[in-house]
Amino acid sequence: MLSVPDAEARAAELVAAARRSGADAADALYIGDASTGVQVRLGQLEDVGRSEGQEIGLRVFVGTRSASVSSSDLSDDALSALVGRAVAMAREAPEDPYSRLAPEEHLLRGAAPELEADDGADPSPVELKERALAIEDAARAVAGVTNSEGAGISAGRTIIALATSEDFARGYASSGYSGWASVIAGTGSGMQRDHASHSARHYADLDPPESIGRLAAERTVKRLDPGRLPSGTMPVVFDPRVGGSLIGALLGAMAGPSIARKTSFLLGREAEQLFAPGIAIVDDPHRRRGLKSKPFDGEGVATRRRALVEDGRLTGWLLNAASAAQLGLAVTGHATRGIGGAPGTGATNVHLESGPLSPAELIADIEQGLYVTEMIGQGVNPVTGDYSRGASGFVIEKGEIARPVAEITIAGNLIDMFRVLTPANDLEHRRATNVPTLRIEGMMVAGA
């Protein structure tokens, strides 16, 4: 794996070689990563692995035609062949008037923001094993737990460098750590499982092993002896660990390519009051130690903090260079990129800001409702916004969270759901997409 300066230089050399070979424009992306993972089960080491890899991708433009190629071989001979192949492919590719590099005036220039994305730590496999065992031990020590699906911990580091023919060559490093446990409670047909996990950029920020294990066990035991809930229309409350998926559906619908293709349920709703007044959803790529923080996007555009929803209204779309050109708008710093293919779009560290009520106050007036802690399936129609997913969690009765329930389907339409969404005040920044406890009125619940 190359250092950041070496990765920047290698990407820039590849772009220069593409220009010399006849490309009108080009960009190159280097990704190198190394990771160590340890998994244990029932107090024994089950798996330990170490992986390292690096790859570079080249995208070239000949007029309005473009092509992308990639290689894990970074030798001079391999990259020379890569350049020749890319230019030859581009000359035969179909024309696309919107495919292009990001405009030079939007690229990151000057000093990058301080993100604290890389802690430089390198915990040994022995240390990771001890921590994974401590996670599982804590989970198995909770009364009611009868078996374990295992626990684990991973540590990794990634180097990213991007160069373009607009005289741009920048890179950055990030570290990442994750711990998890999954256990079983009960016996026979009454068994239930649940899990807990935590991810962080800095090793020192990872939750203590005992906390992860105990939380996984407590969640599992609470799910024992689930019942059914009568079907009907009722308030549904989403636990923070699952509520973020609602915002994920919103972000997908805000993607510039979906808007340009007219395949988004948000099309034509730019001026509507999508959420209640006061609701704000923020994308913050500069959050220190944020799981998705980055100084520039997949096309080199400088990232910036932005309210995606302000006072309940959309502020625009998530745009890369191609979708911005197609829609006649400016890039927004939301291009995402893999080694191969054209850039897509996506957000970074997103959160829905807290409301004034505590979770207890949020549910206090619910006579009968559903508190969701797990969802199953991907039942969201991106074109219409129709929403239907399997769920499990707990009944809300007379303002209190009561018995567990399972095998339930919740349904609605995201436009209607967003309008009646109410956030609690318990927002924590623990994931890439963070929300407080959310309440949505009048959802269809199919139970018994």
378 has a pLDDT exceeding 90: no
pLDDT tens string 3-55: 999 999 999 999 999 999 999 999 999 999 999 999 999 999 999 999 999 99
- 287, 138, 130: which is closest to 202 by C-alpha? 287
- Where residue 448 falls among pLDDT bands split at 50, 70, 90? low
For tokens 């897509």, the residue is 344
CA distance 299 to 285: 15
pLDDT band at 377 (very low <50, low <70, confident <90, very high): confident
Give the whole-angstrom CA distance, residue 384 versus residue 368. Answer: 29
Structure letter (DSSP) for residue 340: S
**pLDDT digits 0-9 by tens, 214-257:** 999 999 999 999 998 999 999 999 999 999 999 999 999 999 99
Mean pLDDT, the chain, integer: 97
CATH 3.40.50.300 fits 4-221, yes or no: no
Distance CA 294, CA 129 (A): 30
Instruction: Give mean pLDDT, residues 303-322.
Output: 97
> For residue 224, what are the contacts with CB-CB under 8 A and spacing of at least 6?
144, 185, 186, 190, 192, 404
Q: Which carries the bigger pLDDT value, residue 316 or residue 270?
A: 316
Distance of alpha carbon 187 from alpha carbon 37, whole angstroms: 30
The pLDDT score that the predictor gives to residue 341 is 86
pLDDT at 398: 96
Residue type, 400: E
Delimit the domains of the chain by residue range: 4-221, 226-448
